[in-house]
């Protein structure tokens, strides 16, 4: 597994989009690469409006699939360059994948939701998001090593509570998945009213399960809030994504973003203003960065 990520062994087989290839391949003197130096945002001074926006990517990167894994991890890094998100929620990380990201994406602080097997993680852009504290909340009855990773951060003077999780997989585990969703929603609902709360992750949820659990009135599903746009409905889509060979077509909205605004007087009110899917381009190896599409969201002060 470690050998998959001997990154300097792959200079002739880079799968990043061609326009972003050069910087990713260069090996600096210190052995680390600051990806954001090659970002579109670095070539211009952000407007005041852009500067106050919060941008987020949530993505199950399928680290358990070791085929073309170094190329696919490099693909993830190329999207970080292109979008320069403030916050990244990741699921299905494995330890070598995390080490790769720490080496390549030094402009981000990486928080891990585990150490063994596979787990979730968060990436915080050091220049814009400051970590205050983080914790891991266990799901007592999970059979799949799942938990809830929570971080309290400061974003330009605003208090954010960030959460990510990979809820129990497969149709037969709906009861456990709904239990886990209840934990997430309880934490979102009970967060202090001066915090903006944001959850992103691979929920594996079916709409009927969400209906059974119910969302608190203060929490919105960002995709629904933005008008249920068809082009970013399906995040796991075997009709369009052939990373997994399955004998049937499955199109599901497994990956979801939930949002609860701060309500305390005098606290800036962020609101979702944009959503898109990322990872839709095939890499040079003929596969996609993951079997899931990633979700990109931005939030602005209302």
Kindly report, residue by residue over 108-134, the tens digit of the pLDDT: 999 999 999 999 999 999 999 999 999
Strand-pair partners of 60: 91
- Split at pLDDT 50, 70, 90, the class of 52 is confident
Burial class (CB within 10 angstroms; exposed 0-12, middle 13-18, buried 19+) of 165? buried
> What does the pLDDT read at residue 51?
83
Neighbours of 121 (CB within 10 A): 22
Terminal-to-terminal C-alpha distance of the chain: 46
pLDDT grade for 4, boundaries at 50, 70 and 90: low
Assigned token pair, 41: 């945002």
Please state, in angstroms and rounded to a whole number, the distance separating the CA atoms of residues 157 and 141: 37
User: What is the mean pLDDT of the segment spanning 238-254?
Assistant: 94
- On average, the pLDDT of the chain sits at 88
Tally DSSP H helices, then E strands, for the chain: 7, 14
Is pLDDT above 60 for 261?
A: yes
Query: How much of the chain exceeds pLDDT 70, in percent?
Result: 83
Ordered domains of the chain (ranges, CATH): 2-301 (3.60.10.10)
Per-residue model confidence as pLDDT tens digits over 221-242: 999 999 999 999 999 999 999 9
Q: Is the pLDDT of residue 16 over 50?
A: no
| 145: alpha, beta or left? (left if phi > 0; alpha if psi -120 to 50) | left
Report the candidate in 108, 150, 106 with the shortest Cα–Cα distance to residue 128. 108
d(CA 23, CA 220): 39
Residue 237 is among the residues annotated as catalytic for this protein: no
What's the rounded Cα separation, in Å, for the pair 273 and 244? Answer: 32
- Residue bearing tokens 């399928």: 62
Question: Band of the pLDDT at 248, cuts 50, 70, 90?
Answer: confident
**Catalytic residue among 202, 237, 255, 291, which?**
202
CA dihedral 174, 175, 177, 178 (to 10 degrees): 110
pLDDT at 38: 45
Q: How far is CA 144 from CA 140, 141, 166, 255, in A?
A: 11, 9, 10, 17
Q: Which of 139, 224, 121, 146 is nearest to 187 (CA)?
A: 139
Q: What pLDDT was estimated at residue 30?
A: 40
């Amino acid at each position: 597994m470690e050998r998959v990520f001997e990154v300097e062994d792959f200079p002739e087989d880079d799968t990043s989009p061609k326009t972003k290839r050069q910087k990713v391949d260069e090996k600096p003197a210190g052995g680390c690469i600051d990806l954001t130096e090659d970002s579109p945002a670095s070539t211009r001074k952000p407007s005041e409006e852009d500067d106050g926006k919060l941008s987020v990517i949530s993505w199950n990167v399928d680290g358990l699939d070791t085929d073309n894994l170094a190329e696919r991890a490099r693909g993830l890094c190329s999207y970080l360059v292109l979008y320069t998100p403030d916050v990244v929620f990741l699921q299905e990380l494995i330890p070598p994948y995390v080490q790769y990201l720490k080496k390549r994406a030094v402009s981000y602080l990486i928080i891990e939701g585990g150490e063994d097997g596979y787990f979730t993680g968060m990436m915080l852009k050091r220049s814009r998001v400051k970590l205050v504290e983080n914790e891991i909340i266990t799901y007592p009855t999970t059979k799949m090593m799942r938990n809830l990773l929570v971080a309290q951060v400061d974003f330009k003077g605003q208090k954010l509570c960030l959460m990510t999780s990979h809820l129990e997989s497969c149709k037969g585990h709906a009861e456990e998945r709904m239990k886990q969703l209840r934990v997430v929603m309880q934490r979102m609902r009970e967060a202090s009213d001066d915090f903006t709360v944001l959850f992103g992750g691979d929920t594996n949820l079916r709409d009927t399960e969400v209906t059974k659990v119910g969302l608190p009135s203060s929490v919105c599903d960002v995709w629904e809030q933005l008008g249920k746009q068809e082009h970013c409905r399906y995040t796991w889509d075997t009709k369009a994504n052939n990373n997994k060979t399955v004998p049937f077509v499955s199109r599901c909205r497994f990956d979801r973003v939930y949002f609860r605004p701060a309500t305390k007087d005098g606290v800036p009110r962020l609101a979702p203003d944009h959503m898109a899917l990322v990872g839709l381009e095939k890499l040079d190896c003929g596969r996609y960065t993951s079997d899931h599409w990633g979700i990109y969201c931005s939030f602005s002060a209302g």
